[in-house]
Structure 1
Amino acid sequence: MHASPVDVDLALVGGGGAASLVLAALDRHRVSGLRVAVVDPVHKRGQDRTWAFWGVPGTDLDPLLSASWSRVDVVTAAGRRVLPLAPLRYAMLRSAPVYDRAAEAERRLGAVRIGAPAGELTDDGERVTVADPTGRLLVRADWVLDSRPRPPRRPGRTSWLQHFRGWWLEAARPTFDPQRAVLMDFRTPQPARGVSFGYVLPVSDRYALVEYTEFSPAPLSDPAYDAALRGYAALLGLDLTALTVREVENGVIPMTDGPFPGRPSPRVVRLGTAGGATRPSTGFTFSAMLRQADQVAAALAAGRPPVPAPAYPGRHLWMDAVALRALDRGHVDGVEFFERLFDRNPPERVLRFLDGVTSPAEDLAVMRSSPLLPMTGAVLGDAVGRLRARLRRDPTPTPVPQVGSRAGDQAGS
């Protein structure tokens, strides 16, 4: 704890996954001479979460991975579809090696760690002051990267959650196929409003993460998650009496078309979910956090402001808003929606779309794979909702972003 305020070039407020990736990226880009502070009451260590993502092999994350797969399964009541992912791969990254790498980067950068909670950020356009909740000044910085969780700037027209519980299961004898990961298994009982699925990420033939996930408006109770996991294990033919639950993972991630501004003031930049890194239609976050970190580090290495690009194009945020509305209002069946997505598009296109890196032409192909009439109704409903919201804020409405429009590419930043 520092008795007097620290003056730095860059302050990271929040020390979780987003900040850890930034620290590692600053080290990787060999950013030197930068005065850095990390403000967080907790110094993250050990295994507290698991990220699963897809990308091209051969990155600096490879040595940190617990496992990776060149193909994955998508399962419905109609059968099992095996998706070859080349040139991509699906990968599992646990938090401990990420935190370890961040700690090493922090040491090499000579960063100052302030073990206190951050309160108000005051940005005068030239410098930002970071105070604790009592108002005591902690840091003065040229730039602040704030990754603390927060709600959207205003409530979304549709607000769901990705919520889940996973068991790390250990077997005494070979039980899992380490070459076969299950991306989505929709044989789970479906909620009245939403969509559920299980998945399996095997690290070895005796150790795997088995998880139950829902996209729906509200989380479940602890007994309900456990019952869902027991049911899914039974679907997989797993004998839980012969398995040991080594770890339990829980999570709740927002899925909403509410806006998360990436730059709330001139010298404050938000990262992670607070900065729009969570994909509204799926809750996926890690790949966008990784992009944000790399863009921040590259900008600082080049002497530019550490402001990443919007996590997703505006047209993708519009498509997500329409998809969320269609699912929420029951215009489309959730299982059918995802089944058609994987059935009518190459796996690489689907995964790149979910990461927010497809072209407008690819986006149109993805849209054509969805049920036309129900989605048209959702488009019209979304347009009316946008117009009503705009009229409440501003008597002069502006057009709804269109797929492929360049103007839409900057929306929602």
Structure 2
Amino acid sequence: ASRRSGGPPVKKDLAVVASGPTRAHVNPTGKVSEVLLLFQRHAVLVWVFFPVFVVAQWLTPGFQPTCSAGYSACTLVVVALAIVHHLYAESRAWAAVKALLTVPELCVMRQLGILRKRRCLVLLGILEDLNLYTVLTFPFVAHACDAETTERWLQSWAAVPVVGESAAAMLAIPRFWGCAAIVVACVVLGGLAGMCRLLALDGRQIELLGGGLEASALEEAPRLAGAVFFSMAQSAEAAVMPSVAQLCEEIGLQRRWVFNSKEDRGGAYAVTKAHRDVAWGKMRYESLEMYELYNQEELHRVDSAGSYHFMLKIVRKVLIANAIQLWFQSTFFELSFKSIGSEAAYKLIAGMVISGLQVFVRSADTVPKLGCPGLALTLPSMIIVAWAGAKVYYAFHCSGHVWNLTTGCVGGTGVAPATV
């Protein structure tokens, strides 16, 4: 209005435009350290306090897991307090990571639906906390039912052709609950390894590492590289915060592209000429990349970091932490079908449902980002989930409540005809 009347422009509006965040990179000073501290605290709570609490529960009379009730329902109060801390830490970590984004990047996150997925992923993280507690208590519940479960388990293995007798003899040493404890120990050791890596990270070093890429060229706040965000995503997974992890993953994928004018190769004119030469068959398409106005080294570095992160997530979070646990839980369900109490059965079924949900949700999110390698890594988990589902189904339809993949229904003294 002031321009139309011939008056001077409104300085307030210009100041707002000039000072508002546009494409300038947000200075990460302090934000990365804050995020890592939140990750570290919750990781210690999950991977140190939970195992110690479960072992203390097993050693305390009156709170020990039983075959009739499973783990004590009173202990869920402690799990609820851990979930409250999860919500607090996730909220602050999400806000800190989001503050590292520029306005255009926030618009991209909204268009991709990353911000809308937050609530569902927070719920997924809460279920993961609860599922981890269920997994940690599972070997102790199996130990309480060991008198019957191990005997029936060895009988089912003995019925397997060729290797059955040898496998039964070997498994008789650790027994069923011991084998379950070994698998759970692998989950805990993987979590502790991620926690130790997280505790060793220094936020200031990460800021300096990521900020050196474009700060000198653009003369603005340091720009955290995409590989740094994948490192933060891996830390978020160690802290059981899938919502923050996915936000960091998507930021890392978007920051693969770093502008490079390539004046030494002719700049934009050389790009146009290279595209024309490819169209006319004068140049191979594979040679076109060296002329594009982006940093190929940074692109390959971020792609490598992303592939490693996604593969690690499939193996650790999907296969070991959920699919294999689901197989052991479904096996225990059929072995203890007659002896387990209703309360323990309901808790066991809830744990199996959460594990299956984790497998499908995480696989659906990760496989498209990895392509064929991701599909190949996820296939064993899907087979195990289907196998576990068949075990639960045939527990209700077999006379002996035990089912083998190779022999069908297994009775108390031998092999019974399969019931479909």
Relative to the length of structure 1, the TM-score reads: 0.26
- Select the structure of larger CA radius of gyration: 2
Higher relative contact order structure (alpha carbons within 8 Å, sequence separation ≥ 6): 2
Greater helix percent: which structure?
A: 2
- Could you state the TM-score of these two structures normalised by the residue count of structure 2? 0.26
- Report the structure, 1 or 2, having the larger strand content: 1
